[in-house]
Each structure stands twice: as C-alpha cells, then as structure tokens.
Structure 1
Amino acid sequence: MRILVFVYWIVAVSLPAHSQKVQNLKRDICQIISQNRAHVGISIKGFEKEDTININANDTFPLMSVFKFHIALAVLQRVDDGVLKLTQKVLVEKSQLHSDTWSPMRDQYPHGQVYLSLDEILRYTVSNSDNNGCDILLNLIGGAKGLQKYIRSLGADDFTVSVNEFQMRSWENSYLNYSTPMETTKLLEKFYNGLILKANSTDYLYRLMVETTRGTRYMKSGLPQAAEIAHRPGLSGLDANKIRIAMNDVGIVKLPNGQYFIISIFLKDIMQDDRQAEEFFSEVARLTWEYFTK
C-alpha cells in the first residue's frame, strides 16, 4: 500500500490587500488539501492577472475523460477548416459500441449500423462523456498521434496522449494520457477567449460543456444553483491495489458580473472514498466562487 504525505507551507508576509486576499484563498485551499489523502494539483486563473493560484500545477496527472475537451477542439478545428461538417453523417458500427464501458450512445443504439450526425456524436461525447463516441471522434482526427500533434500546435507542450478510451480499460494505460493543471487552465482560457476556434464553434463547444451531465457532485455542487459552469470531468477505475487512479474536473465558471474564472483540479493516487474526493472539488469551487464574488 502506498502512503502519500503532502506538506504545504504557508508563509505570512506583508502584502497589498488584493494580493493578501489571493494568499488567503490559497491558504484555505491548502488547508483542505492537507485533509485529503491524494496527490492534488490545482490551477486557477481569474480575469485579472493577480487572480492566479497554482498548487502543484506543473505536476502531471492522468487526463481521463478530460481529454474529450481536447478531442472536441480538434474536431471543431476541422469543422472550421471545412474538412468536416456538424451535419455530416457518420456510420456507427456495432463493433464500435463496446459493451463494458460508459456509453449512452450504445444504450440508445445497441445494434449499431446507424448513421449519426457529427453533432450528435459530439453531444454524446462532450455532454454525456460517451466513451465509444470519444473513440469514434478520435479516429476522425488521426487517433492519439493526431490529437497530440494538434494540441501541441496550440502551444500546449505539457500534453501527451497515447491511448484511446477503449485501451484505458487496462488501469496501467490510464497513466499514458496526461497533462498538467496549469497547461489545462491556459488552454481553457485560450479557448474561451476565442483564440483557438471560430466564434460559432467556440460558442457551440462551450454550450456542450455547460450541458455536461457527468460530475455533477464535483465542482458544480459547490457553486450556487444558478451559476453557469462549462466543465469536463474525468474519472478512472481502480488500480491493482484498489486505489482510485484519478478524478478530475476542469472548467470555466461565469460570475454574476459577466466575468469568469478558469479552474482545473486534478487528483491522482486517491486513497479515500469517492464521496470525500467529490466534496473536495465542491469545497474548492465554493471557496473560489466566494473569493471572486465577495
């Protein structure tokens, strides 16, 4: 059994009022990190330069289903370039609908051999975290190598993808797709500010992420009910020692004043139950919301 101990030092110094507020938020987040038995990485970026918090943000973490956001970026880039169309039909064969994985698409079309629009497959994949839909889209953009080449072309060097969802059924492979919290936050901000896709595609993907049905007990549960969050969660299976490999949630949170903050939370080697981990996401989101709204 692996025993992980993380120690965080908070040094009290004389700071301007704004900087002191940021340090107070970081102190509060580090306090709840110290109560968790997991390796935690967090990157938070507000609309002002000073509103930035990074904790283990350059450490690498398994992406899990977070990489469905990256896949959607690559697909929609091809839509912007005229290579693909949201209305075009894609044949989904029965052999692509694996039974031992999360797939609302398979549940809806258990026998396959159906033509679905690219829009439908994106909705299954991004909003409903469909693993079969994920691999169908990944094939359209040249597989893992094609995805990695595209994301790195956006300046995201701390990003590696080697396997698809079907291959991640083996827990060892869960570590082969990884990135850092800071790289993820930077990419989300570029996306939200329209620096990657055309305006229509940016709005389209943002809305799919708002409509995400998974991970509702992660960051979303720590925000006010009316708050808007466009996010992409991720969850692994257990390793050989029955330890949860990873649990993640990354996204864009809109504030009442029309501004936003970007937040990426990654956990790996989680030696506590899922409910405790979920409560960690919720509490960090709550603290961050209160910082930006009070």
Structure 2
Amino acid sequence: MGKFKLRLTSLLFIYSITTSAQSDSLRYKIKQIALNAKGVVGFAMLNIESRDTLSYNGRLHLPMQSVMKFPIAITVLNEVDKGNLRLDQLIPITKNDLQKTYSPLRDKFPEGNVGISIKDLLSYMVSLSDNNACDILLKLLGGIAVVDDYMHSFGIQQIAIKATEFEMAQNWDIQFTNWVEPKEMVRLLDIATKPAFLSKSSHDYLWQLMDATSTGVKQIKGLLPNDIKVAHKTGRSSTNEKGISAATNDVGIITLPNGKHLAIAVFITNSTADLDTRESVIAQIAKSVYDAEVIKQ
C-alpha cells in the first residue's frame, strides 16, 4: 500500500510539473503574440469543466467599450426574472433616442416613432452591438449605476460600469471609466453559464444572443475551425488623432470538440497597430489556447 501511495504521489508530482511547464509555454507564446499589438494586451481563460486557468496581464483594469453590453444584458434579464420588465414589453422610441452613432436600429428607424420590444432591443444591443439600443435599455433600467451595483451584488467586484455609450462618445478619457479585469470577465462568463443563474428562459435567450453576435468575425473566431461554436461579445473604440486605439476586445465561450467549454477574454488597449493586426492578435491568442486545450483531450 505504501509503494502504491508513493507511486501515485510521484505520478501526481510529474503531472503537476508537466502541466505547469505547458502553462508556462503557452503564456510565453501569448506574450510573444501580444507584442504585435504595440499596446497593452490582457488575457484570461478558464476551462469551465476542468477549472484549468491561465492569464496574462489578467489583473489589469482595461476599458471594455461594447463588452459592457454583456453585463447590461444580464442585468436586464435579471429584471425580467424579477417581474419588473417583460421581454415582450414595447418601449417607445423617439428620434431623440437615436443618436448619430453605430446603430442598426437608427438605420432601420431613422425617425423613431416606433415601439420596440425589450427582447428585440437586447438583440440589437448584444448581437449587433447597437449603441442606441444600449442606452435605451440603460435608461429603462434606471441608469448605469443599476448595472454596476448588480454586478457587485453577486461578487463581480473588479468591474466598473460608469458611463453610457453617449457619454463615452463625448470625451476620449471617459471610456476608461468602464473597465474590467480579464480574469474577472472570465469569472462573469463562468457564472453566466450556470443554468440556475437566471431563469431557464432568460439563460437560454442570453446565450442565444451571444451565439448570434455578428461583429468581430476575425477575432476569437478568426482562426478556429468553422464548425466550432463561439458565443461572444466584442468591443472596439475609435482611433484618435495620435493613432492610438483604446480598445479592441472580444470575450466569450468556445465549445471545444469534446463538448467542454472554454471561457476566454482578450483585451487590447492603447494600441498603435492597425485594426487587422489587432484582430489577428486576438485570433492568434484564441487559436493558441484552443489548440492547447484540444491536445489535453
């Protein structure tokens, strides 16, 4: 029995060393890829089933841009679950609600004067990353602080949601008040996958929206096999007169070939690289992590 225990202990020790070496190798590879961004890259991942984790600059406070629409959607669905809102509830949209910004909603209804259901506003906001739909839903919730407070209420502390899309557009520095740590975003993704976190209908609709995201096809999804499912939310800033892009982000869940799930968050901030390069950095990091997880299967 003693020899068996000794052998088992030795095997576990060897496994631990091997796993640690693999993680170090992958982290080094990600660090090398990140150099191409010519800015700051933050990354975190979690295999939801095995609980394996890895991060690089995972505790930095990085601007979210439209990634914040994911926690906003969760907050709206929580209000639906509490009975304060209904998905089929029609929200009157006026022309004043439709700012000149990225907005498929405004493109479709330039004059407003239309009622849009909360369900459809969520689709515009998450799947299409519509800025006007975002601010309309924030107004419906009672303001941005409601989202910030709700995130903190269930333990997501390393996040700050302080400014609307309209407010971010008014001043370059304001976008940095909406930040999250990559490791904390991965925690939020993990929590949101749990069936009991929201009601079944709200849970299913949240991930239906994430599955349907049409932005960022060259980012997390860019180098993955076409048949691999990615439910994700992107975020991107403009580039200022100095050639600096404040945010190029993608976060989400990759369903691995063995059915397990990989939560991943990649944030690039203060980058002087062009958009193609920034998107390529995200794609390469996602592919490296994906390949490492597939090898473990």
TM-score (norm 2): 0.91
* Unpaired runs of at least 5, structure 1: 1-12
The structure-2 alpha-carbon separation of the partners of 1:14 and 1:36, relative to structure 1 and needing over 3 Å to count, comes to farther
- The equivalent residue for 1:281 is 282
**Contact 1:22 1:51 (C-alpha < 8 Å) held by counterparts:** no
Letter in 2 for 1:182: K
Alpha-carbon displacement from aligned partner over 1:67-90 (angstroms, at most 9, x marks no partner): 000110000001111111111111
**Cα distance in 1 for residues equivalent to 2:80 and 2:278:** 37
2:72 paired with 1:78: no
- The equivalent residue for 2:232 is 231
The structure-2 alpha-carbon separation of the partners of 1:175 and 1:73, relative to structure 1 and needing over 3 Å to count, comes to same
1:212 to partner: Cα distance: 0.4
**Cα distance in 2 for residues equivalent to 1:218 and 1:80:** 32
**Cα distance in 2 for residues equivalent to 1:195 and 1:266:** 28
Letter in 1 for 2:31: C
1:282 to partner: Cα distance: 0.6
1:49 to partner: Cα distance: 5.0
**Contact 1:222 1:281 (C-alpha < 8 Å) held by counterparts:** no
**Cα distance in 1 for residues equivalent to 2:282 and 2:26:** 15
The structure-2 alpha-carbon separation of the partners of 1:50 and 1:76, relative to structure 1 and needing over 3 Å to count, comes to closer
1:15 to partner: Cα distance: 5.0
1:27 to partner: Cα distance: 2.0
Letter in 1 for 2:107: D
**Cα distance in 2 for residues equivalent to 1:275 and 1:17:** 35
Q: Which moved more, 1:166-175 or 1:49-58?
A: 49-58
Letter in 2 for 1:221: G
1:14 to partner: Cα distance: 9.9
**Contact 1:211 1:230 (C-alpha < 8 Å) held by counterparts:** yes
Structure of greater Rg: 2
- The equivalent residue for 1:5 is none
- The total of aligned residue pairs comes to 281
**Cα distance in 1 for residues equivalent to 2:79 and 2:146:** 12
**Cα distance in 1 for residues equivalent to 2:88 and 2:51:** 42
* Unpaired runs of at least 5, structure 2: 1-13
**Contact 2:145 2:161 (C-alpha < 8 Å) held by counterparts:** yes
**Cα distance in 2 for residues equivalent to 1:96 and 1:52:** 42
Instruction: Determine helix, strand or coil for the equivalent of 2:84.
Output: coil
Q: Which moved more, 1:42-51 or 1:77-86?
A: 42-51
Instruction: Determine helix, strand or coil for the equivalent of 1:95.
Output: helix
- The equivalent residue for 2:128 is 128
The structure-2 alpha-carbon separation of the partners of 1:38 and 1:195, relative to structure 1 and needing over 3 Å to count, comes to farther
**Contact 1:171 1:238 (C-alpha < 8 Å) held by counterparts:** no
1:19 to partner: Cα distance: 3.0
Alpha-carbon displacement from aligned partner over 1:152-197 (angstroms, at most 9, x marks no partner): 1121111112210011112121111111101100011000123531
Where does structure 1 differ by over 4 angstroms across 4 or more consecutive aligned residues? none
**Cα distance in 1 for residues equivalent to 2:51 and 2:178:** 31
1:238 to partner: Cα distance: 2.3
Letter in 2 for 1:242: G
1:26 to partner: Cα distance: 1.6
1:18 to partner: Cα distance: 2.9
1:31 to partner: Cα distance: 1.8
1:227 to partner: Cα distance: 0.7
2:140 paired with 1:140: yes
Instruction: Determine helix, strand or coil for the equivalent of 1:16.
Output: helix
- The equivalent residue for 2:178 is 177
1:105 to partner: Cα distance: 0.4
- The equivalent residue for 1:30 is 31
Letter in 1 for 2:156: A
More helix by share: 2
1:143 to partner: Cα distance: 1.1
Letter in 2 for 1:274: L
**Contact 2:39 2:268 (C-alpha < 8 Å) held by counterparts:** yes
**Contact 2:36 2:281 (C-alpha < 8 Å) held by counterparts:** no
Alpha-carbon displacement from aligned partner over 1:87-127 (angstroms, at most 9, x marks no partner): 1111011100112x100001111110101111111101100
**Cα distance in 1 for residues equivalent to 2:16 and 2:154:** 35
Instruction: Determine helix, strand or coil for the equivalent of 1:270.
Output: coil
**Cα distance in 2 for residues equivalent to 1:24 and 1:251:** 23
**Contact 1:171 1:237 (C-alpha < 8 Å) held by counterparts:** no
2:48 paired with 1:47: yes
**Contact 2:36 2:277 (C-alpha < 8 Å) held by counterparts:** no
